[in-house]
Amino acid sequence: MTERDAIPAGGKATYIAEEVRRRIIEKEWRQGDRIPDETELATEFGVARATVNKALQLLAEEGLLDRRRRAGTRVAINPVRKATFSIPIVREQIEAAGLSYSHRLISQSRSPLPAQHAERLGLSTGDILIHLRAVHYGDRQPFQLEDRWINPRAVPGIEDVDFHHLNANEWLVRNAPYLRADLNFSACNAGEHDAPLLDTKPEQALLILNRTTWNDVGPITTVRLAFHPGYTMAATT
């Protein structure tokens, strides 16, 4: 860490991570190369080994480095980079876009679980769950169509909630922290049933997000979110 180096914005570990990243981008260290071990880098940068360790672990999580005990650290040959996106509360997402939020509950009932969901949830077909359908609006335009099943055994108190005025997404986020979640994206045509709810044509392509959460008791909820036509979901790296 020589005098002329810029002051590290996020501390020395961040600075070292940036410097190592730069050496990889600029091909000073090439795909597959072994890089100096932690002790050597600690000496080079004039820091403790733990600091180098933190920096390199960060880059390994990003997928840029492969690290193995005894074998050392190498620049990844096929860097499998990762992207993350946050799962916002619908209302906050809509309001963040400067629109006024509203929602409409289409149905709320206790219903037997269809087979298509039972396996994924690890429950039995016909178990009684709470089934909700709702549309979320931004400035009165349909934004998202929600089709949700909630397992009351995993969420005590849910039976008494009326979702006409409170949105299920928000209630669950605040009251049912989860241990594990599954999430996937797909696309499907709106169809006769959903198209009118999103104010579009039946053949319109829609982005679909399916999400299921579990806590220590069992599955909490599974939800299918269909976004309005043209919606894009952004991720960061």
Contacting positions for DNA (CB under 7 A)? 8, 10-15, 37-39, 46-51, 53-54, 56-57, 60, 67-73
Among residues 8 and 79, whose Cβ is nearest to its own copies?
79
Among residues 47 and 168, whose Cβ is nearest to DNA?
47
Q: Which of 3, 160, 162, 203 touches its own copies (CB under 8 A)?
A: 203
Can you tell me the distance from the alpha carbon of 131 to that of 129, in angstroms, rounded to the nearest whole number? 6
87 binds, among its own copies, DNA, none (CB under 5 to 8 A by kind): its own copies
Dihedral angle, C-alpha 136, 137, 141, 143, nearest 10 °: -50
Pick out residues in 163-202 that bind its own copies (CB under 8 A). Answer: 170, 173-175, 177-189
Sequence letter at residue 116: Q
Among residues 105 and 209, whose Cβ is nearest to its own copies?
209
Among residues 127 and 170, whose Cβ is nearest to its own copies?
170
What is the CA 39 to chain-centroid distance, rounded? 36
Q: Which of 31, 100, 124, 141 touches its own copies (CB under 8 A)?
A: 31
Can you tell me the distance from the alpha carbon of 30 to that of 202, in angstroms, rounded to the nearest whole number? 51
Beta carbon of residue 20, minimum distance to DNA (angstroms, whole number): 12
Smallest CA-to-CA distance from 20 within 67, 63, 64 is with: 64
77 lies in the binding site for its own copies (CB under 8 A): yes
Dihedral angle, C-alpha 172, 177, 180, 185, nearest 10 °: 30
Structure tokens at 33: 């190369």
Pick out residues in 2-21 that bind its own copies (CB under 8 A). Answer: 21
- DSSP, collapsed to helix, strand or coil, labels residue 135 as strand
116 lies in the binding site for its own copies (CB under 8 A): no
- DSSP, collapsed to helix, strand or coil, labels residue 121 as helix
Can you tell me the distance from the alpha carbon of 202 to that of 190, in angstroms, rounded to the nearest whole number? 5
Among residues 51 and 93, whose Cβ is nearest to DNA?
51
Among residues 8 and 152, whose Cβ is nearest to DNA?
8
Burial, 103: exposed, middle or buried (Cβ in 10 Å; 0-12, 13-18, 19+)? buried
The footprint of its own copies (CB under 8 A) covers: 21-22, 24-26, 31, 63-64, 77-89, 92, 170, 173-175, 177-189, 203-208, 210, 215-216, 227, 230-237
